[in-house]
Structure 1
Amino acid sequence: MTKTNPGRFFEDYRVGDVIRHAIPRTVAEGERALYHALYPARGAIYSSDDFAARCGLDGSPLDDLLAFHVVFGKTVPDISLNAVANLGYAEGRWLKPVYPGDTLRSESQVIGVKQNSNGTSGNVYVRTRGLNQNDEVVLEYVRWVMVRKRDAAAPAPAEDVPQLAKVVAPADLVVPEGLDFTNYDFELAGEPHRWGDYAVGEIIDHVDAVTIEEAEHMLATRLWQNTAKVHFDATFREDGQRLIYGGHVISMARALSFNGLANAQMIVALNGGAHANPCFAGDTVRAWSEVLDKAETDAPGVGAIRLRLVAHKGAPGDTTLKGEGGKYASHVLLDLDYWALMPL
């Protein structure tokens, strides 16, 4: 019997399966330093214990996307080791801040399967939860991924596609306990713009750009113990290129969005997302955001802002999203819809 893990293939999944993923990971301050070295991340709450404490938190938590990547990475050997592509996200919520010293683990439940018409692959839908050392859920999300079949002739599992909410309702957003923006220091945060300064429909070009490097991408993906073959093995794809981990693009775009959205401090929900086109080393990533909605919260001085974050490799200032037929323009890499918390 082979002792190596070939990964699951599409025909191995059944709706209702619960998978407890290896391996628990204790995160520390070094993780934050490396994350901030990989991306131009400058959110004040995630950079300063003092700033975070003045906002009512128990010191500076680790970046919300860092926690997401750690939880996500653990799912790869069981969910997407044999993936063709990660297709989308829905119903994501950050439920508790993650602090240095916390130990994170992941578990997923299969909530849907659908074989593709070509018979060689299918889409698998999973709801993943990240838990800390106290068995508290720190974040949860749904994602769906296209997975190869081991045997094209193998019977497909019964089709079952879940109905997913298009947006996390404002009432379901979880504001971290104690968060208080009434004495928020805009000068130290880097920009004066508050919740009331943004209008629904407004588009913000984040101006800056970063050229993606192969080494940085692989370092980041290894950091989160993501073992997907497409990110490391240049022989795995017919074109001989290593696919940049989609989370690397998400974090890069989010960091670039600081220029214009410095006070969109904490991500609390992931409404939806699509990796529209592949990203490869050498691509130069730019970003723009659109304000989709705004909502008040019960926390003092805290508002919620719903943002569409688009990463692309087009010309500076290009905010084209889709072309004829409603398909994403070829230069668009990421279309992400999320809620963040911002001072009123």
Structure 2
Amino acid sequence: MTDAFSPMPELNLLKEFYDTHDDFFANGFEMYNYGAEHVEGLINFAQANGSGSTYDIWRKDDRADLATLPVVAMGDEGGVHLVARDFREFLRLLASLPTDHEPDIDWGSFGLRGGDDDDDDEPVDNRLYLAWLEQMFGLTPADDWAEIVDAAEAELAREWAVWIHPRIPDAVWSPVHELNLLARFDNLVYGGFANGFWLLDAYGERGKVDNPGLTGDLAPFASTNERDTYYAVWRCDDRADPAELPVVALGATAGVGVVARNMREFLQLIAGLTDADIRCDAAGVDLRACEPAPNRGKLVSWLEETCGLRPAEDPAAVIAAAQAELGEGPMARPVQG
């Protein structure tokens, strides 16, 4: 009697089906060994495409039933993405992928390789797999494979960002879910969308700030147009979700002050700046007049559609309330409207 392929019964059944069928049933999918960990906590169980990308179980906790853990895809040249909420959803994903394209995994996304007729892969026959999937698990393909990936992203993206960013910083833009959503929006918009606001090239970038107030518990993520003020997440405690941490403004050379109690409030704050931006220097935090951002309307729409938020009606009051509530810390004088 041979040893089981894995400690997961569902995965062992898939391996048994794979071993007893000579033909491919999902383009680029192959099963060799179980258990390799390219990153601790990501357990490889299959190859995703012909170039060496993999599917891995995300061991996000110590639960006994591994089949209830999420599945991710790791690109052979970089990138790692959620693809299924659990193993049964992954089995449906295999059944839903086009038979004439194999997955393409890069830093940007989990997608399909090719697209033009000349680039199509040789189609595979997945009819036996579909019959096995329904008979063994009562599962059928999704109408669109992207629905499965999108559902995993919607449910797990916040927790995933916190977990993966310290391990593979380039996998997501930041450990803050809302900032990752904003970074995607930023990639789609040409020109400024918030007064005095530009995302830095990398989350936590510190090289451009010569301010002694930039201590280890501050993670810069954006700056004003003039690069005289920066925004940073203030890791004032060890709460699990960094989106709940305060946001501060930092002068490029001096000054630091709280501007929002959490990231969602900060997004409302910058969306509410109609004809002003934020300045921080040795004297503290102020609002200064500036030209409106050309794409502010797009930001307002995105904020409501994606985050369910409206712009702050009184940005100065938001900053003042945050400073009043948080008390001592990296504080400045009260903001002047």
Instruction: Classify the TM-score, shorter chain.
Output: under 0.3
TM-score normalised according to structure 2 size: 0.23
Greater per-residue strand proportion: 1
- Structure with the greater alpha carbon radius of gyration: 2
TM-score normalised according to structure 1 size: 0.22
Greater per-residue helix proportion: 2
